[in-house]
Structure 1
Amino acid sequence: MNRSCVNFCKTTVVNLNFLCWLCGAFVVAFGEFQVIHSRYASLVTTFWPIYPANTLVVTGTIVTCVCYVGVLGGMRENRCMLISFYILMVTLMLVELAMALVFLVYSREIDTYFERDLMQSLEIYRQSSPEGNKTIKDDFDAVQHVFRCCGVHGEADWKGNTPISCCSKDPCNSAFPTNWQEGCVDKLKNWFASNYLSTGAGVVTMFIIQFICLSITVPLFCHFKRRGLGYQ
């Protein structure tokens, strides 16, 4: 491999890894934003590790660290860093594929847990004192107000103790207010699905960039190995 080709591969690896690093940093920032502003995490606790915001933060952090190694390895022509980057990136890509398969295989089970968690949160809300469990109450009220729904499957879930956040038409303080009739479980499932769709699109984009980085890293590493470079 002549020097111009080596320089091209080196520049491409550095630029792609830097781009991937920027994407990872953006993903972390976006995930942190969702963590801070999300109002629904306290209602769904069974699979909190795969909550979209948590997934973004963890994935983005790992990607930024791995790509930083790739940038340094390409700039310094260091074989140790390049092989470390290669191993870490392959591992990361396998984990991403495994997570995608888990979502595909266990999507129905996740929906079951989702519904069960919402019912548990509703029961906590219904049986709590006026000053108790403020976080769950505020989050459930926010869900019902934003998604224009009532209860998990419908107004009947509240068993006559319907909160004012279910009200769909003024006056809401009357003896028989008009409430939303549709339950929140389907609307929240659709909301989560759209979040996972956007998260998945971002992960697929990074996966493509990672694959290109790996494809270029291999010949670059082989060149450094043949020339005896990369340990200084």
Structure 2
Amino acid sequence: MGVEGGMKCVKFLLFFFNLIFWLCGLALIVVGIMVQVSLHSTFMIHDASASGAPIVLIGVGVLIFFIAFFGCCGAWKENYCMVTTFAVLLSLIILAEIGAAIAGYVFRNKLSTIVQDSLTDMIGSYKNGTKEFKASVDKVQEDWKCCGVNSSADWRDFSSDGNTVPDSCCINVTKSCGKGAMLDANKVYQKGCHDTIETFLKKNIQWVIVAALVIAFLQIMGIVFACLLMRGIRSGYEVM
């Protein structure tokens, strides 16, 4: 009876952990989509390497979402094959997450360069860009209260006088407020967008790493419970 009770406890713990895995998978999908959208829409970062980590997050989230099915059903029905499949797939997921962590670390080291190059391209394309493109660049500067890449002087090629910036650089945005005011700290933000955006992205990457560590711990616990239940089922103990 002691063994039966212990296996029954493991059974329900595995079922409970799979409900958590299901939520974790959903969370990873949402986080991956948010990171991808923020990188490529809000900041218009087009470096292919920037997509690596969020795409892996979305892929891992989808897999966890469906793998949780094997864990739940296998635990509830005490099906050895399903529990084994769950344990193997979850082990592969952990390996994929290690790969994502490495990609995230590499991307973190390249973050400053990627932001610098992307913002420089944005400024260079602004003058002849579409209305939608200009609106996106303006939104970045208005939302983050910044101007240019490293300073407002980055807009020196924006107009023929070399002293005009887009109106979105202004502290109080009004029509033509940036004309001839590039270096006027009372009218135009002098701080560039690079440092602000880089700090924001690094802060969010740190939160993603923390979340990944928590999820990895839960997954390891899930594998341990799955192995215990597999051992109990294979030994022929009644766990109903």
Bucket of the pairwise TM-score, normalised by the shorter protein: 0.7 to 0.9
- The residue type paired with residue 23 of structure 1 is C
State the shift of 1:181 in Å. Answer: 0.7
Matches within 5 A, 1:168-207: 168-169=171-172, 173-174=176-177, 175-177=179-181, 178-207=187-216
State the shift of 1:214 in Å. Answer: 0.7
Deviates more, 1:144-153 or 1:154-163: 154-163
Q: Supply the distance in 1 between the matched residues of 2:107 and 2:29 (Cα, whole angstroms).
A: 26
1:221 paired to 2:230: yes
Gaps (5+ residues) in structure 2? Answer: 159-164, 182-186
8 A Cα contact 2:53 2:103, kept in partner? no
Deviations 1:35-83 (A, max 9, x none): 678884461121342465x565433222211222211111111121111
8 A Cα contact 1:40 1:140, kept in partner? no
Query: Could you say which residue in structure 2 is the equivalent of 1:111?
Result: 112
8 A Cα contact 1:118 1:152, kept in partner? yes
Deviates more, 1:18-27 or 1:214-223: 18-27
Deviations 1:139-165 (A, max 9, x none): 221111111111111112222422111
Q: Give TM-score, length-normalised by structure 2.
A: 0.81
Query: Could you say which residue in structure 1 is the equivalent of 2:22?
Result: 21
- The residue type paired with residue 206 of structure 1 is I
State the shift of 1:180 in Å. Answer: 0.8
Count matched residues: 224
1:142 to 139, 142, 147: 139
8 A Cα contact 1:125 1:133, kept in partner? no
State the shift of 1:109 in Å. Answer: 2.5
Secondary structure at the counterpart of residue 179 of structure 1: coil
Q: Supply the distance in 1 between the matched residues of 2:144 and 2:42 (Cα, whole angstroms).
A: 15
Q: Structure 1 residues 169 and 160 mapped into 2: Cα distance closer, same or farther (>3 Å)?
A: farther
Q: Supply the distance in 1 between the matched residues of 2:8 and 2:72 (Cα, whole angstroms).
A: 14
Gaps (5+ residues) in structure 1? Answer: none
> RMSD value over aligned CA atoms?
2.7
Q: Supply the distance in 2 between the matched residues of 1:93 and 1:103 (Cα, whole angstroms).
A: 15
- The residue type paired with residue 176 of structure 1 is G
1:151 paired to 2:148: yes
Query: Could you say which residue in structure 2 is the equivalent of 1:49?
Result: 51
Deviates more, 1:4-13 or 1:159-168: 159-168
8 A Cα contact 2:167 2:173, kept in partner? no
1:164 to 155, 164, 167: 167
Query: Could you say which residue in structure 1 is the equivalent of 2:6?
Result: 5
8 A Cα contact 1:118 1:185, kept in partner? yes
Q: Give TM-score, length-normalised by structure 1.
A: 0.83
